Amino acid sequence: MKNRIKIERAILDLTQDDLAKAIGVSRQTINSIEKNRYVPSTLLALKISKICGKPVNEIFELEEGD
Amino acid sequence: MDIEKLCEKDRNLLQRLLSFQLPYKFKKIGLILVILCFLALTALKFSTADVSAIQMILKKIFLLSLLLVSISRDEIEDELVVKLRVQAYSMAFLCGIIYAIVQPYINFIVEETTAFELGDFQVLTFMLLLHLGFFHLLKRIR
């Protein structure tokens, strides 16, 4: 699964730490999600989309083979 | 009370038990106790007096301290940390079983004795230390 969290963060001028604090996770978790090493739960995806102000499927996108 | 409500009550109770964790401060307390017990047990190795009773108590405290560290929350306990914790537990569980099966044979090859019994202290310490090791490693490479 691809995601646009890094781009959305840049748009909102947020650091990984800012986003992590806003949704109540560690900075390393945001880093793992951005690098596609970890697929977040629906709850976390919804929290991220709320911060970014965009629907979940605009931030997270299925890849071929998913 | 109908069967649905009973099942729901059981499910909630089980869920609460499964998600039980101690606060973060217990991790620090556990680590301090582990170090102190380790040092005391090492010192007792060189003692000439009969200290088997003290050793046994210290071993139990050592195991309980390791358990404290193992079941304490992380500073930030998010869903990724929970996932890594579960992975570390499953790895430690598997390695513990393999260790319990294989260790007597290794001992037989190395020391040529069959009179070797694997105690609870040895297996549990191995599993708990392995869990902490795997958990730390997984967190580092996450």
Q: What average pLDDT score do residues B111-138 get?
A: 87
- Chain segment B8-18, per-residue pLDDT in tens: 999 999 988 88
**Residue B86 half-sphere exposure, CB side, CA atoms within 13 Å?**
9
pLDDT of residue B117 exceeding 80, the answer is: no
For A34, nearest residue in chain B (alpha carbons): B142
Contact A36, A61 (CB under 8 A): no
What is the DSSP annotation of B26-84? HHHHHHHHHHHHHHHHHHHHT--S--HHHHHHHHHHHHHHHHHHHHBPPSS--HHHHHH
Element (H, E) at B107: helix B79-111
Which of A26, A34, A44 best probes binding to B when mutated, by most B CB atoms within 10 angstroms? A26
- Chain segment B72-91, per-residue pLDDT in tens: 999 999 999 999 999 999 99
Inter-chain touch B139–A25, beta carbons under 8 Å = no
Alpha helix stretches (DSSP H) within A1-66: 5-12, 16-23, 27-34, 42-52, 56-59
The three-class DSSP label of residue B4 is helix
Q: Topology of domain A2-61, per CATH? A: 434 Repressor (Amino-terminal Domain) (1.10.260)
pLDDT of residue A27: 95
Contacts of B78 in chain A (CB under 8 A): 24-26, 29
Give the residue extent of every domain in chain B.
1-73, 74-142
Give the residue extent of every domain in chain A.
2-61
Contact A60, A1 (CB under 8 A): yes
Cα separation of B93 and B71, whole Å? 15
What was the ipTM of the complex prediction? 0.89
Which of A29, A32, A44, A46 best probes binding to B when mutated, by most B CB atoms within 10 angstroms? A29
Cα separation of A50 and A48, whole Å? 5
- Chain segment A9-65, per-residue pLDDT in tens: 999 999 999 999 999 999 999 999 999 999 999 999 999 999 999 999 999 999 888
Q: Is A29 on the interface with B (CB under 8 A)?
A: yes
Cα separation of B20 and B116, whole Å? 36
Q: Return the percentage of chain B with pLDDT > 90, whole number.
A: 66
